[in-house]
Every structure is written in structure tokens, then in C-alpha cells.
Amino acid sequence: MVEISRFATHNEYPADSIEGMDLQHLLHPSTNLAQHQQQGPVVLESANGVYVTDNHGKQYLEGMAGLWCTAIGYGQEELARVAYEQMVKLNYSQLFAGRTNEPSVLLAEKLKKMAPFDAGRVFFGLSGSDANDTQIKLIWYYNNALGRPEKKKIISRKRGYHGVTIASGSLTGLPPFHAAFDLPMPGVLHTTSPHYYSEAQEGESEVAFLQRLVDDLTQMIEREGPETVAAFIAEPIMGAGGVIVPPENYYPSIQQVLDKYDIAFIDDEVICGFGRTGTPFGAQSMDIKPTTMSIAKALSSAYLPISAVLLPETMYEAFADRSGELGNFAHGFTYSGHPVCAAVALRNLELMEEQDLFTHAQKMGVILQQRLQQFVGHPIVGEVRGKGLIAALELVRRPLPRQPFAPSAGVGAYCSNACHNAGLVLRNLGDSIAICPPLIIDEQQIDELVSKLAVALDQTQEWANKQGLL
């Protein structure tokens, strides 16, 4: 007997339309599935530069670079040419059992030269999630190799985002990614979020708040036992948790604690890497000294899926010694070092250099942050925060003292939809509106982004008034 779904296809969409078939066949990630069945999908059909166009011909300024990833913008024909040529020459090659391919070797060499720390080796994957999943396995393998089998716990942060696999989803510190998935797994801990505006206690100065963050981390390590804690993982600037910029001197203060207890610092550069924060890597913007690093997204500007873990030579030496005993370093993916992905990523980084894109992004980041200051004092904007070409506006009932809207009111979602109607793609993270345009955006396009956002904010304020939310 065939079971009839209780979710009917949206009546407005013919069953054989792309929208209708989407509602019948796809399971969407990070989506309110019941709501999606009622509203239907947005179908994107083409893109160029900083703009995307839907299947009705409406154009949008893509203010989120897709999912924080299309750094070099859409429609780069050079990257399509490189992918084609590599597919014709060598469409697939594995890295298992000592095999290799030229694009992977050259990309690894390039990344070591670019890295903001003394990287010794590069391990390739396909996504930020699998990179951070790999980070856990590597730190466990490393401590086993050093004869420290009890040193395995990983400390992450509340509101941090590090992926969605069982391991990386456990590192993520956002409740929706844990609810009903039986996460986090044992051995993953979450310390206090470094967001002064939402986490500070009444009357607490930013200096005092920073000291409390340091104390919270120190107490957690001592409570668990320093001999059991292997690593601390952090995004230089939190992305999906609300674009959280930590207080000044946060990372140097945290790093002192980690050094004291011999705890590795895993730098998650999946969003911040490759020019996003105004420097090549977020570690340089935020004064981080990584032990290891995860990269993805802008590595290929999302033209093809690829990620990488960069680690010091000392870790590799321990791996090699241990592998000599075991006979195999038994970790890797079918598509680790996929030659087409690697070739595209390498050319993407070369194009960034040829276009001096990091310098351009740094200049545009200053302009974006300046333009966004016009929203300070807006009746429903509590905080404007960001660095470089990543930012967020937090929507609140009252700015000071901070009075957030009830989550059930859906104010952030309404504002995101108002942006969409105005021809602007932004993303609400709860009631924070995230901004992360392609690095190629110019000053005129920044003004367009800010103007459309202003329209959406005013519409959201008017709607919130009518709903009795203010």
C-alpha cells in the first residue's frame, strides 16, 4: 500500500514544474520543511558577478555570497575553462596508497605558502564539515601517537558553527543542530559565547566580560582535567551564530590559557579565510596563532566542492611514526584531492592574486562597515557589528538595555523576506541579519545593498508595530 503524504504540493505549482517537482522529491538542508511545503522554493536560474536571477527573471544582489562562499563572484568563465580542461586531461585520481596528481600537489604547496602559520602538510576533503570532522580524528590520532590516549576532549563555544556531521555537528554550538539528532556526542564541551551585547551581565564592562570568558574557559579545563582536553576550536569571527566579533584582546587572552594547559588551537577559517575579514585569513585580523587550520568555501569560491586541513610538520611526523607501526594511516575520502576540484581551487587563488582581490576586499570592507553605521539608532536595530566584508544587524524590541523580540515572532525571518522582495539576498540568523557579499563587490553595489536593506528594515519596523511587537 502506498502511503499518501500529509504534505500536499503547493496548489500554485503544477506538478511538472521545477517548483512542483522540488516539493515532491527534495529533502532540503537547514529548512523548515513544513513551511517549505506551503510556501514553495525560490528557483535560481542564472548568476553573474554579484547578482543572481530567478526563473521569473527577477534579479537579486547576492548579499550572502551564496552560503558565505562565492568570494570571487559568479560567472568566472576562466574557472569553467580550467574545470573542463582538467576533466578532459584527468577527470579523477585518488590519493590513497601513495598515488597523487599534479593539481593537488600544486594546491597544497600554494596553501602552505599562504598560511598564517608554519603549516607542514595539507589534507584535502570536500566541505567545512568534513574538514572539522577530520580535525577531531587527527587530534585524537596525534595524542594516541604521543601516548596520551586520555587527551581527547574538544572545547568549542556556544553559538559557534563548525559543520553538521556527527562530530562537527557536535562542535557546533547552536541548539537546532543538536535537537532531535542526539548531539552533541560525548567529549565535546561548549564554553561561553564571546558576544558582549547579548551575553554581558548588567553593569559588566567589556574588560570584565573578557575576564569572565577567560575564567569560564579556565574553570572548564580544570574541572575536566587538563590532561583530558586536547583542543579548542573557534571561528575568528562567528558566522552562522550571528556574525559575532569577540572583544578586543579575546584571542590572545584565550591563547594564554591554551598554552598553559598544552591545548591545541584549531582555527576554523571556513568562512573567514581568503580575504573575508580584510586580511588573507581571519587569524591575522584577530591575532590568532593556530595549531591547525580548516579551510573551504572561498578556497574554490564554491565553483567546486573542496576543503583542506593544514597542520604542522610535527603532527605529520607523529602520524608517520604511528602509521609505521599500524601499517596504514586509515583516514581519507574517495574525493580527497580530486584533481578537478584542486585545479579549480588553485586557479581561483591565482585569480584572486592577479586581481589583487584581497586589497580590494579590504577597501570595500571599510566602506561597507561605514555605510552600515547609518543603521545605528534605527528603532529596531540593537547592534551593528562586523569586520571587513562580513557584518550583521541585530533586530531588537529595545536597543538599550537589550530587549530581544520573542523568537516565535519571526522578526528576523520577516526582514529577510522583505530584503528578498526588494531584490536583495541576505540571511537571518534568528533576529540577526547577516551580510557577506562576494569580495568583488564595488562601492556602487554596496550602496545598492545598503539602500535595499534600509527599505526592508523600515518595512519590518512598520510590520512589527502593526503586530504589537514594539
Cβ atoms 274, 300 nearer than 8 A: no
pLDDT in tens, 21-78: 999 999 999 999 999 999 999 999 999 999 999 999 999 999 999 999 999 999 999 9
At 414, which amino acid appears? Y
pLDDT of residue 10: 54
At 90, which amino acid appears? L
Cβ atoms 136, 326 nearer than 8 A: no
Average pLDDT over residues 391-419: 97
Give 5's pLDDT tier (boundaries 50, 70, 90). Answer: very low
- What CA–CA distance (Å, rounded) separates 389 from 367? 9
The residue assigned the cell 569560491 is 301
- E-only strand ranges, 262-306: 264-268, 292-295
Calculate what percentage of the chain has a pLDDT beyond 90: 95
3-state secondary structure of 6: coil
Res 323 pLDDT > 90: no
pLDDT in tens, 437-464: 999 999 999 999 999 999 999 999 999 9
Both ends of the chain: CA-CA distance in Å? Answer: 52
Q: What is the pTM of this model?
A: 0.96
pLDDT in tens, 290-299: 999 999 999 9
pLDDT in tens, 106-149: 999 999 999 999 999 999 999 999 999 999 999 999 999 999 99
Q: Is the peptide bond before 184 cis (omega within 30 degrees of 0)?
A: yes
pLDDT of residue 327: 85
Cβ atoms 25, 36 nearer than 8 A: no
Domains and CATH numbers, the chain: 42-72+357-466 (3.90.1150.10), 77-354 (3.40.640.10)
Average pLDDT, the chain: 96
pLDDT of residue 3: 41
Res 4 pLDDT > 80: no
Closest C-alpha among 282, 247, 280 to residue 268: 282
pLDDT of residue 11: 56
Average pLDDT over residues 351-366: 98
Res 354 pLDDT > 70: yes
Main-chain dihedrals φ then ψ at residue 428, nearest 5 degrees: -90, 130
Average pLDDT over residues 75-100: 97
